[in-house]
Amino acid sequence: MVTTPAPSPILAMARRAAALRAEGRDIVDLTLGEPDFAPPLHVIEAARAAAGRPLGYAPANGLPDLREAIRRDVLTTHGLTYGADQIAVGCGAKQVIFNAFLASLSPGDEVVIPAPYWASYPDMVRMCGGVPVIVPVAARPGFRLQPEELARALSPRTRWVILNAPGNPSGVTYTAGELEDFASVLRPWPDALILSDDIYAHIRYVATPHHTLAAVAPDLSARILLVDGVSKAFAMTGWRVGWGCGPVSLIHRITAVQSQNCTQTGTLNQLAAVAALDGPREILVERRAIYRQRRDAALSVLRASPDLAVAAPDGAFYLLVQVRDLADDTTLALQLLDAGVAVVPGSAFGATGHLRLSFATEAATLIEGCQRLRSALGARALSGAA
């Protein structure tokens, strides 16, 4: 029997904030990981040109031109080479991940998920008949998974291991040496597939290059699904174009699922994604610098509070804020709406006692939201609230 999931807690808080704003309330919304930028101009122009001609259906695994653009991008970004039959295109990276689980999980199969995690991972696993195995990562600097923690979570029932770096919500990244340590743990488990969720690969604030497991441990590439898309780096969340690169047998199963649930992602959107991948990349550098400035501005406000502790994320655009003496982060997130700021409770990400803030919004709004949060928590401390 398929498990019916609860609604996404991220979207639930975003809807609450939107409803209050519709009522005229002044709410600063820091819930969604949705860039406030427009797509690059050349993407918009390509979409406008394509919209004027008949488009028709695309292959279930994506337009050939898009798969070729993805091949070039993965080679440039990661130094990896994939054939056209090793790429599956879906309606965003999220659907590709869901299709992969649906195509490969049998009832009772385990999926190892380091926490904090993207809130959708466990529910997707349950919906596909699997069992999430949550690995709590201590709030050490950067929320870095340790090889021994990974090793303890593996079992003969392990079907997938999820690695998300830069991570949502922690912003964690891993060096090549750290990924090799994970590879050493995973090699003795040949039945365990590895999901390498690299959707934030282009949004990093550290000087070291981005590393992905398939490049560091090519001997494991036949077990790795590398997932990416245009939503985050290219500010194309609503266009819903993502992809997975991996072994032919898995890609064929993912494509079969895709062909039966929605056939394809929009042809126009795929053409826009081609333009994004093949176009100039200077805008990615410019926007990464803006995100860094926003991150640092938010950190400056939040770290001034004795009630908060927050590490600087290595990548992505989230702050995972630890609140002193916090017993119920869901209740606190709801209370903060009264203070005019919307955030997501950390428990939605396996990080109880924390709040997640997105800094994918313009600086003045972000700073105002952080100030409201700090003021509300100061008042809470004075009142002795738990």
pLDDT of the residue at 325: 85
pLDDT of the residue at 378: 80
Tell me the pTM: 0.94
Per-residue tokens: 281: 């990349």
Residues 362, 368, 372, 378, CA torsion sign:
positive
Same-domain check for residues 110 and 24: no
Same-domain check for residues 210 and 302: no
288 burial level (CB within 10 Å; 0-12, 13-18, 19+): middle
Confidence band of 7 (pLDDT split at 50, 70, 90): confident
| pLDDT tens-digit map of 276-331 | 999 999 999 999 999 999 999 999 999 999 999 999 999 999 999 999 888 899 99
Residues 375, 379, 381, 386, CA torsion sign:
negative
| pLDDT tens-digit map of 149-197 | 999 999 999 999 999 999 999 999 999 999 999 999 999 999 999 999 9
Domain count of the fold of the chain: 2
Same-domain check for residues 308 and 194: no
Residue that terminates a domain, selected from 228, 248, 278: 278
Confidence band of 384 (pLDDT split at 50, 70, 90): low
Range of the domain at 321: 9-32+282-381
* β partners of residue 29: 342
Residue that terminates a domain, selected from 254, 278, 302: 278
Question: Is residue 72 scored above 90 in pLDDT?
Answer: yes
Question: Is residue 382 scored above 50 in pLDDT?
Answer: no
pLDDT of the residue at 134: 98
In a domain, 1, yes or no: no
Same-domain check for residues 289 and 150: no
pLDDT of the residue at 386: 47
The three-state DSSP-derived secondary structure of 200-220 is: CCCCECCCCCCCCHHHHCHHH
Q: In the Cβ-directed half-sphere of 56, how many Cα atoms lie within 13 Å?
A: 4
Residue that terminates a domain, selected from 252, 278, 304: 278
Name residue, tokens 């040949």.
Answer: 190
The mean pLDDT of 43-67, rounded to a whole number, is 94
In a domain, 2, yes or no: no
244 vs 43, 92, 105, 227, 384, CA distance in Å? Answer: 21, 10, 17, 4, 49
In a domain, 262, yes or no: yes
Same-domain check for residues 82 and 208: yes
Same-domain check for residues 165 and 227: yes
Same-domain check for residues 256 and 344: no
Same-domain check for residues 50 and 147: yes
3-state secondary structure of 176: helix
Averaged pLDDT of the chain = 94
DSSP state, residue 311:
P
In a domain, 110, yes or no: yes
Same-domain check for residues 180 and 45: yes
| CATH (domain of 158) | 3.40.640.10
Same-domain check for residues 144 and 258: yes
Same-domain check for residues 118 and 188: yes
Same-domain check for residues 64 and 203: yes
